[in-house]
Structure 1
């Protein structure tokens, strides 16, 4: 029985690791002390070398987003929905960056430091374009030239990958995340992953409704309705879901499985910004390269 092609960050191309768009910059010892509740803004701040002093759910962020690295000195504010404002106060931020997801906290946080909003996920708008705008605006606000480089180098990188994928089989791609062995979340054209597929010249196999990121859990049986697609599994998955699913008769009978058209990539923040977009593109490029050359 064909096996699932599995790739981790350790298998990434050396050229990919060297490109500046995924380079992890150490937080500066100077410059404004910045805090945020939003993970997309957090990964953006870390990627451009901002002096981040406080953020939310850092343990989970490290497990889900993986990169950029979070310096040990960053204070953990607890849950995104119920952040610890006393810890935020003790972190002494000069500036707090927030998004529309946590706008309810603005009045409370504004008592601690000025609050600026940069939203990346809005219904009907491109998260990739909003991420570019936010990255440039934050870079200008914090006087960090790395923000401009991140935007430009990722754009160049996606153009390069697009040329590579143009020589592929042109099959549609279905990016999903397992909820359990019987359900999955699918990422449509209006998600960050969907936006990356579009910029790579790849069709998204999912043409149904979404909610500007991911569709509510779908029954695993719906995978059979997209027999021509590449299936891209994006962790994190529940601990036993992947094993249970891949051992099932239904899974083994799927055309994508029979024809080795399944990729399991590394964990990515599904509500991420440009660093998440870059990570997804890198994994696709490396995964498909292994399939072609394997």
Structure 2
């Protein structure tokens, strides 16, 4: 067995933090919680219970966008290889993980108790597991009423958007990320995007199997099989890709593009919880209604 390197002393950890120019953690009200997973992070933020530490905060702000991350949350570095010294220094009393980070959990348990969630699994819709996670976090942190309120608000927002989209429910939607100018990644029924489409009363144009919520790479020619679908394009988009596609005869000949059915959405965490579901529903509804109005 490979021996793990020892953790630094508290004095050494403080020196590390100071050298990195990061703020020293302060005790927040209630249980001190850290997380290594973004779906947990956005859920904690939505429940107004920010963690003391979480990974890749700059990237989270760009990809997930919301909820806003307070300045006092310590950035633990990459999700797959978090900075254990900074995590130790944050003095969490509980660490939230997910099925994506099982391999890190033995080492995380050397710092604090670990509780893990599994929202995403092949062939399983993630919405109800996200609700269960939200409820569990609320109960664990003594904010059950706030968690139930957030769940109810999410259901109400999806129901209201479903009502607004009723006149357009017959048109299928295909949610994609561009890999390059010839390929894309598509999100199926076991993705949060796919399940939100169903809850909005819309059909996912992609009915084939996916691999763990999404499938890639798919050639752009696959869009020919879905000429009536709205293409919901979710960032990130490779630099220069849209400029190249704008000059592509094949791209512009696609019925989806020719008929004004390309929906360019803002960035959304593709493996998020209820906050990501709400953001996708809102951005999609806004783009779809705007496109339908422009098409007359």
Q: Calculate the TM-score normalised by the size of structure 2.
A: 0.87
Q: Which runs of 5+ in 2 are unaligned?
A: 1-26
Per the TM alignment, residue 267 of structure 1 is displaced from its structure 2 partner at its CA by: 0.2
Per the TM alignment, residue 160 of structure 1 is displaced from its structure 2 partner at its CA by: 1.5
**What is the total number of aligned residue pairs between the two structures?**
267
Cα distance in 2 for partners of 1:56, 1:32 equals 19
SS in 2 for 1:222: helix
Q: Calculate the TM-score normalised by the size of structure 1.
A: 0.88
2:66 aligned partner: 67
Cα distance in 2 for partners of 1:72, 1:247 equals 42
2:116 aligned partner: 117
Q: Is the CA contact (8 Å cut-off) linking 1:235 and 1:265 kept in structure 2?
A: yes
Per the TM alignment, residue 51 of structure 1 is displaced from its structure 2 partner at its CA by: 3.3
Cα distance in 2 for partners of 1:32, 1:238 equals 41
* CA deviation string 1:219-256 (max 9, x = no partner): 11211111110111001111222222233111111111
Q: Which runs of 5+ in 1 are unaligned?
A: 1-27
SS in 2 for 1:195: helix
Q: Is the CA contact (8 Å cut-off) linking 1:178 and 1:242 kept in structure 2?
A: no
SS in 1 for 2:288: helix
SS in 1 for 2:232: strand
Alignment of 1:37-48 (within 5 A): 37-48=36-47
Cα distance in 1 for partners of 2:223, 2:32 equals 46
Per the TM alignment, residue 212 of structure 1 is displaced from its structure 2 partner at its CA by: 3.1
Q: Residues 101 and 137 from structure 1, CA distance in 2 versus in 1: closer, same or farther, beyond 3 angstroms?
A: same
Q: Is the CA contact (8 Å cut-off) linking 1:32 and 1:51 kept in structure 2?
A: no
Q: Which moved more, 1:28-37 or 1:228-237?
A: 28-37
Cα distance in 2 for partners of 1:98, 1:39 equals 9
Cα distance in 2 for partners of 1:252, 1:200 equals 29
Cα distance in 2 for partners of 1:174, 1:142 equals 38
Per the TM alignment, residue 262 of structure 1 is displaced from its structure 2 partner at its CA by: 0.9
- The list of structure 1 runs, each at least 4 consecutive aligned residues, that deviate by more than 3 angstroms after superposition, is none
Cα distance in 2 for partners of 1:269, 1:140 equals 25
Per the TM alignment, residue 123 of structure 1 is displaced from its structure 2 partner at its CA by: 2.1
Cα distance in 1 for partners of 2:245, 2:183 equals 10
Per the TM alignment, residue 74 of structure 1 is displaced from its structure 2 partner at its CA by: 1.0
Is 1:230 equivalent to 2:225 in the alignment?
Answer: no
Q: Is the CA contact (8 Å cut-off) linking 1:179 and 1:241 kept in structure 2?
A: no
1:18 aligned partner: none
Per the TM alignment, residue 143 of structure 1 is displaced from its structure 2 partner at its CA by: 1.4
Cα distance in 1 for partners of 2:135, 2:237 equals 33
SS in 2 for 1:51: coil
* CA deviation string 1:27-81 (max 9, x = no partner): x941211111111111111111113111111111111001011111111111111
1:170 aligned partner: 170
2:98 aligned partner: 99
Bigger relative contact order (CA 8 A; separation at least 6): 1
Per the TM alignment, residue 170 of structure 1 is displaced from its structure 2 partner at its CA by: 1.2
Is 1:206 equivalent to 2:206 in the alignment?
Answer: yes
Per the TM alignment, residue 82 of structure 1 is displaced from its structure 2 partner at its CA by: 1.0
Q: Is the CA contact (8 Å cut-off) linking 1:33 and 1:51 kept in structure 2?
A: no
SS in 2 for 1:278: helix
SS in 2 for 1:86: helix
Per the TM alignment, residue 211 of structure 1 is displaced from its structure 2 partner at its CA by: 1.8
Q: Which moved more, 1:177-186 or 1:143-152?
A: 143-152
- What is the root-mean-square deviation in Å for CA atoms of aligned residues? 1.3
Is 1:267 equivalent to 2:245 in the alignment?
Answer: no
SS in 2 for 1:112: coil
